[in-house]
């Protein structure tokens, strides 16, 4: 594996996407090449920082309620179907004579 | 859940939505609300803009699903692509850069006790640095980082949003991570050099 090939594999390596054999070969190169090791380590740290540092975005209850109300208004076919389903069940049952 | 299983569930929910089942709409909304809003937050200036963009994206996605019927292969990538387009329109209208910490967030710091406030200040400084670095990247790089690294959207779905192959999307993601790292290093270097 050349340095350029190893460099190209660092992205999949950080994501854990490499097959075992390729990963092992890359890891042995990382022990021998400080620049490559720095590259791998800083990419993994950047990914981790981004995940941990940015905080999770959670939709608030107010947003959920507002958006759902708007979506229901925009989809009147849902109300029509719900109303039909709520009709008295005796009209739907087979009548035994 | 694998992308394939998620797509298949989405398609069943979309069919039930078209047939008039309100629970199908609510389930799809619940499934994607946080991620759609997350993407909108990273691509717009304020939380209000992000909520407006996310809500409008849901409205358009459900409208299109009624019109297109079998042509919508999966809901998530479709929705994220609409979020991306609307956020881009919103930024063009405003001609503003993306994201900053809102004044209400900053003001709430004063309410915490001293130790908590110190930790919170550090956390927000770190977040501000990340935001500044992310904001300095081209839009497509911000989108791929947000989808793949922040919202855990599978590469295959991110590829649909970006209109690229899966391999090209992964390559874009790795370039974007390198660019983000280099920008963070520049920012930290600049702050170290500031007296």
Interchain CB contact of B22 with A (< 8 Å): yes
- Say if B109 falls within a structural domain: no
Counting the structural domains of chain B, the total is 2
Say whether B22 and A51 touch across the interface (CB within 8 A). Answer: no
Q: What is the DSSP letter of A94?
A: P
Contact B8, B115 (CB under 8 A): no
Last residue of a domain, one of B61, B93, B125: B93
Q: Among A58, A71, A82, select the one facing B29 at the smallest CB separation.
A: A71
Paired tokens of B86: 């609307």
Instruction: Looking at the structure, tell me whether residues B119 and B192 fall in a common domain.
Output: yes
Sketch the domain layout of chain A as residue ranges: 3-53
Asked if residue B113 has pLDDT above 80, the reply is: no
The string of pLDDT tens digits covering residues B147-173 is 999 888 889 989 999 999 999 999 999
B90-105 mean pLDDT: 55
Contacts of A7 (CB under 8 A, 6+ apart): A36, A39
Task: State the complex-level ipTM.
Answer: 0.72
Residues of B in contact with A70 (CB under 8 A): 55, 59
Interchain CB contact of B173 with A (< 8 Å): yes
The string of pLDDT tens digits covering residues B13-28 is 998 998 899 999 999 9
- Give the C-alpha separation, A22 to A16, whole Å: 11
The string of pLDDT tens digits covering residues A56-83 is 889 999 999 999 999 999 998 887 766 6
Interchain CB contact of B177 with A (< 8 Å): yes
- Give the C-alpha separation, B5 to A51, whole Å: 25
Instruction: Looking at the structure, tell me whether residues B5 and B53 fall in a common domain.
Output: yes
Instruction: Looking at the structure, tell me whether residues B120 and B175 fall in a common domain.
Output: yes
Say whether A57 and B38 touch across the interface (CB within 8 A). Answer: yes
More confident residue, B121 or B27: B27
- Give the C-alpha separation, B130 to A51, whole Å: 10
The CATH number covering residue B34 comes to 1.10.1740.10
Residue of B55, B100, B153, B175 to mutate, testing the A interface (most A Cβ within 10 Å of its Cβ): B55
Interchain CB contact of B195 with A (< 8 Å): no
Q: How far is B6 from chain A (nearest CA, A)?
A: 20
Instruction: Looking at the structure, tell me whether residues B12 and B61 fall in a common domain.
Output: yes
Q: Among B25, B178, B181, select the one facing A75 at the smallest CB separation.
A: B25
pTM over 0.95: no
- Say if B25 falls within a structural domain: yes
Alpha carbon A87 to its chain centroid, in Å, reads: 40
Q: How far is A94 from chain B (nearest CA, A)?
A: 24
In this prediction, residue B104 carries a pLDDT of 47
Residue B69 domain boundaries: 1-93
Alpha carbon B110 to its chain centroid, in Å, reads: 29
At residue B106 the predicted structure's pLDDT band, cuts being 50, 70 and 90, is very low
Instruction: Looking at the structure, tell me whether residues B12 and B85 fall in a common domain.
Output: yes
Count of CB atoms situated within 10 Å of the CB of A31: 9
């Amino acid at each position: 594996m050349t340095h350029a090939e190893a460099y190209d594999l660092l992205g999949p390596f950080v994501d854990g996407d490499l097959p075992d054999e390729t990963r092992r070969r890359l890891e042995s190169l990382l022990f021998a090449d400080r620049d490559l090791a720095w590259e791998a380590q800083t990419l993994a740290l950047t990914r981790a920082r981004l995940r941990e540092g940015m905080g999770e975005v959670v939709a608030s209850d107010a947003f959920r309620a507002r958006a759902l109300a708007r979506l229901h208004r925009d989809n009147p076919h849902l109300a029509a179907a719900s109303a039909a389903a709520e009709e008295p069940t005796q009209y739907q049952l087979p009548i035994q004579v | 859940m694998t992308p394939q299983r998620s797509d298949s569930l989405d398609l069943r929910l979309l069919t039930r939505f078209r047939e008039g089942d309100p629970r199908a709409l609510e389930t799809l909304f619940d499934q994607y609300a946080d991620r759609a809003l997350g993407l909108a937050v990273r691509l717009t200036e304020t939380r209000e803009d992000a909520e407006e963009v996310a809500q409008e994206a849901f409205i358009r996605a459900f409208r299109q699903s009624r019109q297109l019927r079998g042509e919508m292969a999966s809901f998530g990538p479709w929705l994220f692509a609409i979020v991306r387009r609307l956020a881009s329109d919103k930024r063009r209208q405003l001609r503003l850069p993306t994201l900053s910490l809102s004044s209400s967030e900053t003001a709430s710091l004063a309410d915490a006790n001293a130790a908590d406030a110190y930790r919170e200040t550090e956390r927000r400084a770190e977040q501000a640095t990340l935001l500044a670095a992310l904001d300095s990247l081209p839009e497509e790089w911000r989108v791929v980082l947000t989808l793949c690294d922040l919202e855990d959207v599978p590469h295959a779905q991110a590829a649909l949003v970006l209109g690229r192959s899966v391999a090209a999307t992964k390559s874009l993601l790795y370039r974007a991570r390198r660019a983000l790292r280099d920008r963070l290093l520049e920012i930290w270097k600049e702050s170290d050099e500031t007296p």
